[in-house]
């Protein structure tokens, strides 16, 4: 690494400097060489083939053309750059838009290392506000970006990564799109579900290690060039039962029911090829109760790893799972957990299902019963007894465009789902995904042209018997002994955490009861050192931190007030209130998790 870059990172990004100093790279994967014009260029080995990230003739001219073609959207305040390479595009970008701030995400660690051996970043950035993020901090850092800039962020991707990293980019776009949720809604959702997400992941884990992962353990080639139908529970589903029966009887497409739609289908004796569930609430189990009561054992259940654990009890049919972005337990406990493909959390199961179908290889997707609006003031189709109210709150309704060009009435939740669907479709269209909306009298969804299901059957679904028998069969390939070893490591970390919390509470009490304010800054610094040990503890990171996300965000904000408070007495009072309450929550959660963690240890043996 260039000494100038080492000095730069020492001041601006110590974490990256530490990561580079403590990790080796595979030599030969990324090579720097002079271009024909003399400026350095870079080539990368992709699937055993060498590809140039920049032009091998003149990378500077190539970068200038690339940025000249780039169109900045109105109101953009921040640019998220996917791909750093040797930074040629950044030079021209900051010249063109000097008033913007930038974040750089370089997917390849080796490229980042080679760049730091070649380019003087301080000179390149020249005082502009730039952040560099890596894979391990992607979710947190992008969430922080959306906290600051909301929807004023524009993504710009190097052509190299668009060509050769489409799957990884899809995952990145899903993370970014997931962060587009309104801040208020996100905070409310986090406060409501943060404990349930973790508790569900713990309770579901013994089932997970015995269950195939649909993203890894199932043969995806059987879905190639075949259509899929997502059946939601909107009131327009009532008009499509016979069409769906015909499709099912003739094997014209895979039918995936989402949420409570499965109950309407069962009432009409139509069994979908799978039903999907991911809601973390306890009441979610009610949705599958009809299947359990009727002892139906031939409808596969695809569940999110943080689904309400009660949902899985006594389910007789085949099961598959997918890891959701709210799950910090499963990736931590499974061997090679960091390589597990994750489905981003979303505001509805239909959105999660759409992500999943794209990831397992479906290229044509039809939406049925996806009203995203009310029909005759009703929310659901026949045969659905949902734990949510079926009727519309008329005071909260507003008109939007329907699929027939007419006005339909929706509410904030449905409208948010519609916009998210449109974002997902926009991101996946370049991947060759075609989406059609067959929902009569539903909200128009940009990117999903309306077509009746009758016309789909007549004009699109030409082949019969497309659905493979036992398509859902697969075997989890986890070494249970390795899982047990990971759990044992976490058990030791849990004991260590208990000791750290005891020590920290004692030290906190000393600061509070001390009558001397002259050394308070040093006392705070010593407390901070101890506090960092807690926050770096493996058990805390995997189990407790996800359960107090909102409180942690609040603590970070209050900490800034503590630092700037000049009155030492007020500073101490703020410190006692904020950190005292936070430590109490951690201690209580650590005690509360005892029984669930012990149960986990027993159930995986």
Is the pLDDT score of 492 beyond 90? Answer: yes
Work out the average pLDDT over 593-604: 90
Helix, strand, coil percent content, the chain, rounded in steps of 5: 50, 15, 35
DSSP states along 398-451: EEEEBTTSSEEEE-HHHHHHHHHHHHHHHHHGGGT-EEEE--TT-B-BTTB-B-
Question: Which residue in this structure is represented by tokens 């769906």?
Answer: 244
Q: How far apart are CA 120 and CA 123, in angstroms?
A: 6
Residue 191's pLDDT is what? Answer: 45
Which residues, in sequence order, are bridge partners of residue 34?
40
Taking the CA of residue 329 as centre, how many other CA atoms within 13 Å lie in the half-sphere pointing to its CB? 28
Q: What is the pLDDT of residue 180?
A: 53
HSE-CB for 97 with a 13 A CA cutoff: 20
Average pLDDT on 258-263 reads 93
d(CA 55, CA 350): 42
Which one has a higher pLDDT value, 499 or 393? 499
Highest-scoring range by mean pLDDT, 45-49, 288-292, 378-382, 415-419: 288-292
**Measured between alpha carbons, how far is 31 from 14 in angstroms, rounded to an integer?**
25
pLDDT at 379 over 70: no
Number of Cβ within a 10 Å radius of residue 446: 14
Where do we find the tokens 């998220």? Answer: 80
For position 261, what pLDDT does the model report? Answer: 94
Per-residue pLDDT for 241 more than 90? yes
Rounded average pLDDT over 253-270:
95
Give me the phi and psi of 121, to 5 degrees please.
-70, -30
| 422 burial level (CB within 10 Å; 0-12, 13-18, 19+) | middle
| pLDDT (mean) for 448-470 | 95
Kindly report which listed range (92-96, 126-130, 152-156) carries the lowest average pLDDT score: 126-130
Return the pLDDT at 546: 82
Q: Give the residue among 175, 471, 442 at the shortest CA–CA distance from 325.
A: 175
**6-19: pLDDT as tens digits:** 887 777 777 677 77
Residue 307 pLDDT? 95
Query: Taking 80 as the threshold, does the pLDDT of residue 173 lie above it?
Result: no
Give the residue carrying structure tokens 């799957």: 167
* C-alpha to C-alpha distance for 372 and 134, rounded to whole angstroms: 36
Q: Is it the case that residue 471 has pLDDT exceeding 90? A: yes
Residue 429 has pLDDT above 60, yes or no: yes
Q: What is the mean pLDDT of residues 349-371?
A: 94
- Would you place residue 76 in the very low, low, confident or very high pLDDT band (cuts 50, 70, 90)? confident
Instruction: State how beta strands 49-52 and 40-46 pair.
Output: antiparallel
Which one, of 468, 469, 487, lies nearest residue 209 by Cα? Answer: 487
Asked if pLDDT for residue 186 goes beyond 70, the answer is: no
How would you class 278 by CB atoms within 10 Å of its CB: exposed for 0-12, middle for 13-18, buried for 19 or more?
A: buried
Which of 7, 6, 1, 8 lies closest to 126 in space, CA to CA?
A: 8
What does the mean pLDDT of the chain come to? 85
Structure-token match 């899982």, residue found = 483
Tokens describing residue 555:
């603590």
- Mean pLDDT score, 578-590: 85
At 309, the pLDDT band (50, 70, 90 cuts) reads very high
Alpha helices (H) along 338-392: 349-359
Place of tokens 């339909």: 408
Residue 477: predicted pLDDT = 78
Give the E-state strand segments of 259-363 in sequence order: 274-277, 301-304, 319-324, 342-343
CA atoms within 13 A on the CB side of 166: 11
Q: How confident is the model at residue 150 (pLDDT cuts 50, 70, 90)?
A: low
Residue 323 is predicted with a pLDDT of 94
The predicted pLDDT at position 123 comes to 82
Give the pLDDT score at 346.
Answer: 82
The rounded distance, in Å, linking the Cα atoms of 418 and 59 is 41
Among 253-257, 283-287, 568-572, 599-603, the least confident range: 568-572
pLDDT at 117 over 80: yes
| Cα 48 to chain centroid, rounded | 30
CA-CA-CA-CA torsion sign (117, 119, 124, 129): negative
Instruction: Calculate mean pLDDT across residues 192-197.
Output: 75
Residues 297 and 191 sit within 8 Å (Cβ to Cβ): no
**Residue bearing the bigger pLDDT, 496 or 191:** 496
* CB neighbour list of residue 349: distance below 8 Å, 6 or more residues apart: 258, 259, 276, 277, 278, 279
Report whether pLDDT(425) > 60.
yes
Q: Does residue 211 surpass a pLDDT of 80?
A: yes
Residue 381: the pLDDT is 60
pLDDT at 366 over 50: yes
| Residue 563 clears pLDDT 80, i.e. is over it | no
As a dihedral over the C-alpha atoms of residue 105, residue 109, residue 115, residue 116, rounded to 10 degrees, the angle is 100
Give me the pLDDT at residue 140, please: 62
Phi and psi angles of residue 448, each rounded to the nearest 5 degrees, phi first:
-125, 85
Cβ 103 vs Cβ 145: under 8 Å: yes
Confidence check: pLDDT of 169 > 90: no
**What share of the chain has pLDDT > 90, as a percent?**
37
Contacts of 392 (CB under 8 A, 6+ apart): 374, 377, 378, 379, 409, 411
Answer yes or no: is pLDDT of 82 > 80.
Answer: yes
Residue reference for tokens 């009610």 = 286
Mean pLDDT of 263-285: 94
pLDDT at res. 189: 44
- 329: which DSSP letter? S
Give me 94's structure tokens: 């900051």
> Rg for the chain (alpha carbons), in Å?
26
**Which one, of 603, 279, 332, lies nearest residue 482 by Cα?**
332
pLDDT of residue 181: 47
Percent of the chain scoring above 70 in pLDDT: 88
Residue 387: its pLDDT value, please?
43
Task: Please name the residue that has the structure tokens 């309770």.
Answer: 203
> Tokens at residue 310, please?
């009660």
Burial class (CB in 10 A: 0-12, 13-18, 19+), 325: buried
Q: How many CB atoms are located within 10 Å of the residue 204 CB?
A: 24
pLDDT at 152 over 80: no
Q: Tokens 């002079």 correspond to what residue?
A: 34
The pLDDT value given to residue 349: 92
Around Cβ 456, how many Cβ atoms within 10 Å? 21
Give this prediction's pTM: 0.67
pLDDT for residue 415 is more than 70: yes
Q: Which of 64-68, 217-221, 570-574 has the weakest average pLDDT?
A: 570-574
Flag whether pLDDT at 351 surpasses 70. yes
Question: Are 107 and 133 in contact, with CB atoms under 8 Å apart?
Answer: no
Q: Give the three-state DSSP class for 116.
A: helix
Q: 530-558 burial, b if ≥16 CB within 10 A, otherwise e?
A: ebeebeebbbbebbbbbbbbbbbeebeeb
């Amino acid at each position: 690494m260039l000494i100038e870059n080492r000095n730069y990172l020492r001041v601006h990004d110590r974490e990256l400097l530490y990561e580079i100093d403590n990790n080796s790279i595979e030599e030969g994967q990324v090579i720097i060489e002079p271009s024909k014009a003399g400026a350095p260029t870079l080539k990368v080995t992709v699937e055993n083939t060498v590809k140039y990230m920049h032009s091998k003739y003149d990378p500077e001219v190539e970068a200038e053309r690339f940025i000249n073609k780039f169109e900045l959207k109105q109101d953009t305040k921040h640019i998220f750059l996917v791909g750093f390479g040797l930074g040629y595009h950044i030079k021209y970008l900051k010249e063109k838009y000097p008033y913007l701030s930038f974040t750089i995400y370089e997917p390849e660690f080796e490229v980042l290392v080679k760049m730091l051996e070649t380019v003087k970043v301080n000179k390149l950035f020249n005082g502009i506000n730039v952040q560099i993020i890596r894979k391990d901090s992607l979710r947190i850092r992008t969430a922080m970006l959306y906290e600051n800039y909301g929807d004023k962020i524009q993504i710009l991707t190097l052509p190299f990564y668009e060509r050769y990293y489409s799957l990884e980019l899809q995952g990145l776009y899903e993370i970014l799109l997931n962060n587009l949720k309104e801040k208020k809604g996100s905070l409310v959702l986090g406060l409501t579900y943060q404990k349930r997400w973790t508790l569900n992941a713990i309770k579901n884990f013994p089932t997970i290690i015995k269950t195939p992962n649909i993203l890894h353990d199932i043969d995806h080639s059987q879905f190639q060039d075949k259509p899929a139908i997502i059946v939601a529970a909107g009131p327009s589903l009532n008009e499509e039962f016979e069409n769906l029966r015909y499709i099912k009887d003739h094997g014209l497409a895979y039918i995936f029911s989402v949420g409570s739609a499965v109950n309407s289908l069962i009432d009409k004796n139509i069994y979908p090829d799978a039903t999907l569930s991911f809601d973390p609430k306890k009441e979610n189990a009610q949705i599958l109760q009809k299947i359990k009561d009727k002892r139906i054992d031939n409808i596969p259940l695809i569940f999110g790893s943080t689904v309400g654990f009660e949902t899985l009890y006594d389910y007789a049919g085949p099961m598959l799972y997918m890891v959701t972005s709210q799950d910090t337990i499963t990736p931590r406990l499974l061997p090679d957990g960091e390589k597990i493909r994750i489905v981003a959390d979303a505001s509805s199961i239909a959105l999660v299902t759409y992500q999943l179908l794209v990831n397992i290889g479906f290229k044509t997707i039809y939406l049925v019963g996806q009203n995203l609006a009310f029909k005759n003031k009703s929310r659901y189709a026949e045969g659905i007894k949902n734990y949510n109210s079926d009727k519309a709150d008329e005071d909260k309704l507003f008109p939007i465009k329907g699929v027939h060009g007419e006005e339909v009435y929706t509410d904030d939740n449905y409208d948010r789902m519609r916009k998210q669907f449109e974002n997902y479709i926009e991101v996946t269209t370049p991947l060759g995904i075609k989406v059609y909306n067959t929902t009569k009298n539903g909200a128009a969804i940009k990117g999903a042209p309306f077509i009746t299901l009758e016309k789909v059957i007549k004009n699109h679904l030409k082949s019969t018997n497309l659905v493979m028998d036992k398509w859902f069969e697969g075997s989890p390939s986890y070494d249970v002994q390795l899982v047990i070893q990971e759990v044992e490591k976490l058990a030791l970390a849990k004991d260590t955490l208990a000791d750290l919390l005891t020590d920290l509470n004692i030290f906190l009490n000393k600061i509070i009861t001390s009558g001397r304010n002259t050394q308070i800054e040093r006392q705070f610094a010593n407390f901070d050192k101890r506090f960092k040990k807690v926050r770096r503890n493996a058990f805390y990171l995997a189990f407790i931190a996800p359960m107090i996300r909102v409180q942690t965000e609040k603590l970070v904000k209050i900490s800034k007030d503590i630092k700037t408070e000049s009155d030492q007495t007020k500073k101490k009072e703020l410190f006692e209130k904020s950190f005292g309450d936070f430590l109490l929550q951690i201690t209580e959660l650590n005690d509360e998790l005892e029984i669930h963690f012990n149960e986990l240890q027993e159930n995986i043996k």
